[in-house]
Each structure stands twice: as C-alpha cells, then as structure tokens.
C-alpha cells in the first residue's frame, strides 16, 4: 500500500510540474477578472497529472483483477472523454453545450457498465445522474486555491475505505495524486486544475460513490455525506441563479465559498471546507454501522439542512460586508 501511494503521489507531483511548464510555454493562463476569484495571472491544466494517475491505476487494476476489468474499462473510457473535452477547453474555450454532451456520453458509458455488472438498471441510472452531477459540480466549485483538489482527496480517500477491493485502491490513487498536486495549488496557486482536472475529478468521485453505495446496500445514503458541502453550495447557488433568470452556465463568483473567500481569503475557506468534510466522513463511517435506516436517513437529511442554513448565512453576511483583498 505504501508503494502504491508513493507511485501515484509522484505522478501527481511530477505530472503537475511538467503541466505547469507546458502551460507557461503554451500561454494557457487564467487572467484575473470580475468573474474570477483570483487576482494573479495563473497557468491552468495541472489536473492532467491526476487524470494520468487515475488512468494508470485503472489499467493496472484491470490487468491485476480481470473480474473488475469491464467496469474499470468503462470508467477509463469515460474519464478520457471528460478529461479530453476539458483539455480542449483549456486550450480553446468551447461551447458549454459541447462539453455537456461529451459528459453525457461518458455518463452513459459508466451507467451501462454499472447496470450490467450489478444487474441493476436502477443503479445504472444512479451512476448516470452521479456522473453528470459531480462532473459539473467539481467544475463549478473549482474557484479558489486548493478547494477542489483538497475536497477530492478527502472524499476519494473516504470512499476508498468504503468501496474496498480494486475501487478502494483506485480511490487511494486519486487521493494520492491530488495530494501531489496540492503543493502547486495551495496555499499559493502556481497552477490551477483547469477543466481537464476539475471535471475529471468529479467523474472519478461519481464512480467511487456508486461502487461504495452498492457495497453498503441499505446504508448507501451515507455516501452522500462527504459530498455535502460541495453539493449544497453548488445546487443552491445554481437554483438562485435560475430563479433570477441569469445565464447559469457562465462564470461567476456567487458561490458561498467565493463570497466567504472575499472576506477572509482563500486559505481559511479551503481549510474550513476540509474540516467540514472530515467531520462528514466521520459521521458517514459511524452511520454505516447503525442498524436503523430511519435514523440514518434522518441524520443525513439533518446534516444537509445544516449545510443549507450555513450557505444562507454566508450569502447574507457577504451582502452586508465590504469585500477585502485576498
């Protein structure tokens, strides 16, 4: 296990270093602006290192454990599609509808494989919804230093512990690669994930969520807990923009984490979100051992309600305080 962690950590480190050199040479630079939360021109596309690590891990596991090869192969193809369209978008901005179409194709591939392997069309539908949702949520929530990668590392590690077997090792590989990327992105960002990394991380986590949930069976609700801070922030912000009639697919800085970051800086927000996710992971592990489904469901719903109230509080506080420099 130590060697496994080290290999994918090093892929994350070396791959991000090389990606940064490439981004600078190709002028793949995110410039500051009203719809961005950073104030310094920064290279993008570092998430390609995490994608490579996940693909290497999937191939190695498929060769070592042929019984898991069909689902791992579908995951790998879907990941290439999601990362590929993100990589193209990092080089030359594409229509969001083209990206969404490719995400849908990747989600369908994963859903068909999940439905076949687990002999459950319903679980396949869940896989499709999870892939479409998390691929885009991680893209939406990648806006300040270290946030998307640190959340992915925590969630992947937690889901790995639940999923076990090949998918547990895949989760560990993703988490280790994220940790290798983070020194380049936090506390000071020398490179961003880019669309190639943020969407791919969401797709990886969608696959892990489905497999972990399937293993838990009746306790599957608990896999939603580690995703709570991202799902609540992304969904409520999107809902508010829809109700306002705004162009919801365009970049913006209205997420609660962005509002908060304008007051206290990126690093505190990233650490606070990490702390909340760590607590949710502990809660998920505890609930997984509880026998009563009503109790598990009630605690999960209560946690989400608390996150929603926190979102409202952060949004209101941001509207009454003068933003400070980051």
In a domain, 131, yes or no: yes
In a domain, 325, yes or no: no
In a domain, 14, yes or no: yes
In a domain, 292, yes or no: yes
Q: How does residue 206 score in pLDDT terms, banded at 50, 70 and 90?
A: very high
Give strand pairing partners of 192. 44
Please give the average per-residue pLDDT across 185-191, as a whole number.
93
- pLDDT tens digit sequence for 18-35: 999 999 999 999 787 666
Alpha carbons within 13 A on the beta-carbon side of 312: 6
Query: Which helix H or strand E contains 89, and what residues bound it?
Result: helix 69-91
Residue 116 pLDDT greater than 50, yes or no: yes
Output the six-digit token pair for 10.
């090093």
Contact (Cβ atoms closer than 8 angstroms) between residue 30 and residue 46: no
Range of the domain at 95: 2-320
- Tally of structural domains, the chain: 1
Residue 322 pLDDT greater than 50, yes or no: no
Q: What is the mean pLDDT of the chain?
A: 92
**C-alpha dihedral, 172 to 175 to 179 to 181, nearest 10°:** 120
- pLDDT tens digit sequence for 36-54: 666 688 899 999 999 999 9
CA–CA dist 313, 64 (Å, integer): 49
pLDDT score at 163: 92
- pLDDT tens digit sequence for 69-96: 999 999 999 999 999 999 999 999 898 9
CA–CA dist 238, 220 (Å, integer): 26
Please give the average per-residue pLDDT across 173-202, as a whole number.
96
Q: How does residue 324 score in pLDDT terms, banded at 50, 70 and 90?
A: very low
Q: How many residues does the chain have?
A: 326
In a domain, 326, yes or no: no
Q: How does residue 291 score in pLDDT terms, banded at 50, 70 and 90?
A: confident
Residue 263 pLDDT greater than 70, yes or no: yes
- Helices 228-243 + 293-320 axis angle, to 10: 60
Please give the average per-residue pLDDT across 156-171, as a whole number.
94
CA–CA dist 300, 198 (Å, integer): 26
């Amino acid at each position: 296990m130590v060697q496994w962690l080290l290999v994918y950590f090093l892929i994350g480190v070396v791959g991000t270093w090389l990606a940064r050199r490439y981004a600078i040479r190709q002028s793949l630079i995110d410039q500051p602006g009203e719809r961005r939360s950073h104030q310094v021109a920064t290279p993008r596309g570092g998430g390609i290192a995490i994608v490579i690590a996940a693909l290497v891990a999937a191939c190695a596991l498929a060769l070592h454990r042929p019984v898991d090869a069909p689902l791992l192969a579908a995951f790998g193809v879907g990941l290439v599609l999601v990362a590929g369209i993100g990589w193209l978008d990092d080089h030359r901005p594409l229509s969001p509808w083209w990206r969404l179409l490719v995400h849908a194709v990747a989600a369908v591939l994963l859903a068909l494989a999940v439905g076949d392997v687990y002999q459950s069309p319903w679980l396949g539908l869940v896989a499709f919804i999870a892939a479409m949702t998390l691929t885009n949520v991680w893209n939406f929530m990648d806006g300040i230093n270290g946030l998307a990668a640190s959340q992915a590392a925590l969630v992947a590690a937690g889901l790995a512990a639940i999923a076990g077997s090949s998918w547990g090792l895949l989760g560990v590989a993703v988490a280790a690669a994220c940790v290798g990327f983070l020194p380049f992105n936090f506390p000071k960002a020398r490179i961003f994930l880019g669309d190639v990394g943020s969407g791919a991380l969401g797709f990886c986590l969608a696959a892990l969520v489905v497999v972990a949930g399937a293993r838990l069976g009746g306790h599957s609700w608990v896999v939603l807990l580690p995703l709570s801070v991202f799902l609540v922030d992304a969904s409520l912000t999107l809902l508010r923009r829809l109700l306002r009639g705004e162009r919801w697919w365009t970049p913006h800085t209205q997420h609660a984490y962005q509002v908060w970051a304008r007051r206290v800086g990126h690093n505190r927000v990233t650490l606070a979100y990490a702390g909340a996710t760590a607590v949710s992971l502990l809660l998920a592990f505890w609930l997984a051992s509880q026998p009563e489904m009503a109790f598990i469901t009630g605690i999960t719903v209560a946690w989400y309600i608390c996150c929603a109230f926190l979102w409202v509080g952060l949004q209101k506080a941001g509207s009454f305080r003068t933003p400070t420099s980051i």
